[in-house]
Amino acid sequence: MKNFKLKLISFVFGFFALATTSFAQIPDGIVTSIQNGNDVSLAAFFNENVELVVESHDDVYSKSQAQQIVAEFFKSNKPKQFSIIHQGGKEDARYAIGSLTTATGTFRVYFLLKSKNNNSYIHQLRIEKQG
């Protein structure tokens, strides 16, 4: 009986460890950066080049150019609330769709993350006005 309890406890802890790893897909730093409108901390997650669609900008930009564009966006659209609506993908390529409420309206946010050297980098970021 004692052996069974140990196996059951090991199984439960193993399951929760696996589930936590599987569901912890989007780094908290990305969500917090968008919520706070912090372009500097968000840019820390940018790949060297980022496909960016923000207002009139729609191209592939360097990390520093992308940060400047996002900074302009946050300056013009002060974030009030951000939440992830959906996320998915595989371990090395993940995506998330979120809703960003700002002082000027609501925006749909989409980003694609790819892993490199055990770090996640944003390869694509889209911020588009809803409705």
The backbone region for 71, taken as left when phi is positive above 0, alpha when psi lies in -120 to 50, beta otherwise, is: alpha
> Closest Cα partner for 95 from 66, 124, 118?
124
Is 6 contained in some domain? no
pLDDT, mean of residues 91-119: 94
Does residue 95 carry a pLDDT above 90? yes
Name the band, by pLDDT with cuts 50, 70 and 90, for residue 22. Answer: very low
Q: Where are the alpha helices (DSSP H) in the chain?
A: 2-23, 28-36, 39-43, 63-76
CA distance 44 to 118: 15
Name the band, by pLDDT with cuts 50, 70 and 90, for residue 8. Answer: very low
Domain count, the chain: 1
Is 64 contained in some domain? yes
Is 1 contained in some domain? no
Tell me the three state secondary structure of residue 92: coil
The pLDDT of residue 11: 55
Q: Provide the token pair at 19.
A: 């589930």
Is 53 contained in some domain? yes
pLDDT, one tens digit per residue, over 27-77 is 999 999 999 999 999 999 999 999 999 999 999 999 999 999 999 999 999
Is 13 contained in some domain? no
Give the structural domain span for 105. Answer: 26-129
Is 63 contained in some domain? yes
The pLDDT of residue 122: 97
Q: What is the CATH number of the domain that holds 75?
A: 3.10.450.50
Are 127 and 42 within 8 A, CB to CB? no
Is 14 contained in some domain? no
Does residue 93 carry a pLDDT above 80? yes
Is 9 contained in some domain? no
pTM: 0.79
